[in-house]
């Protein structure tokens, strides 16, 4: 997290918050008031999406926006890494993969690859820009469908035949496969809704 994001988050927690048409007015560290989007202060929770919020400043508006987007994507990658680590631990326990260093290494590599690729599947869902002294402050909310990451994970596992054979026999695979099927059905529904 960059320094400014920590300052804003500390301010949000420490100072009085007032509602104001989708934004919250809070006391700025300088003593003035700043308008912070509600979705930034209290990000939505969604079982189907990873959501990351971020804020950045710059003397240039576009630079502030670009920095905030990057920080939001880093937050998505962090959340995805936590999910993949949990899935990896469960899979290793279920299959006894600890005893096969080669497969364990392959599985770890697949997990890391999915996390690093995840940023391409993310998108900016909301953004807001404000003046901040002589510069600008950008707030962004970045999101990524969890199903997309799960689908990438399964695809990469399938490309490793020995690993896929072992993974397919686990309960983790059944759960992941079900989530991927739900995501594919959701994607078709979204596409058919756009065609109307």
Name which residue leads in pLDDT, 134 or 182: 134
Alpha carbon 151 to chain centroid, angstroms: 15
Please enumerate in sequence order all residues whose Cβ is within 8 A of that of 142, keeping only pairs 6 or more positions apart, or say none. 51, 52, 53, 54, 69, 72, 73, 75, 76, 122, 123, 124, 125
Whether 10 shows a pLDDT value over 50: the answer reads no
* Cβ atoms 129, 34 nearer than 8 A: no
pLDDT, residue 25, reads 54
pLDDT, residue 163, reads 78
Whether 4 shows a pLDDT value over 70: the answer reads no
d(CA 102, CA 97): 9
């Amino acid at each position: 997290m960059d320094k400014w994001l920590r300052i804003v988050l500390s301010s949000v927690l420490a100072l009085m918050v007032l509602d104001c048409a989708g934004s919250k007015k809070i006391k700025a560290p300088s003593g003035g008031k700043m308008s912070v989007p509600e979705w930034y202060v209290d990000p939505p929770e969604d079982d189907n999406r990873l959501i990351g919020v971020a804020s950045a400043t710059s003397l240039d508006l576009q630079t502030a926006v670009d920095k905030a987007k990057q920080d939001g994507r880093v937050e998505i990658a962090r959340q995805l890494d936590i999910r993949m680590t949990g899935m990896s631990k469960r899979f290793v326990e279920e299959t006894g993969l600890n005893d096969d260093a080669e497969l364990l290494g392959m599985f770890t590599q697949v997990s890391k690859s999915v996390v690093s690729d995840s940023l391409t599947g993310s998108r900016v869902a909301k953004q807001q820009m404000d003046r901040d002294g002589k510069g600008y402050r950008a707030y962004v909310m970045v999101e990524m469908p969890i199903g997309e990451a799960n689908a990438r994970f399964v695809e990469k596992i399938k490309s490793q035949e020995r690993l896929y054979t072992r993974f397919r026999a686990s309960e983790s695979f059944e759960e992941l496969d079900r989530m991927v099927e739900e995501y594919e059905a959701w994607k078709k529904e979204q596409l058919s809704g756009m065609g109307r």
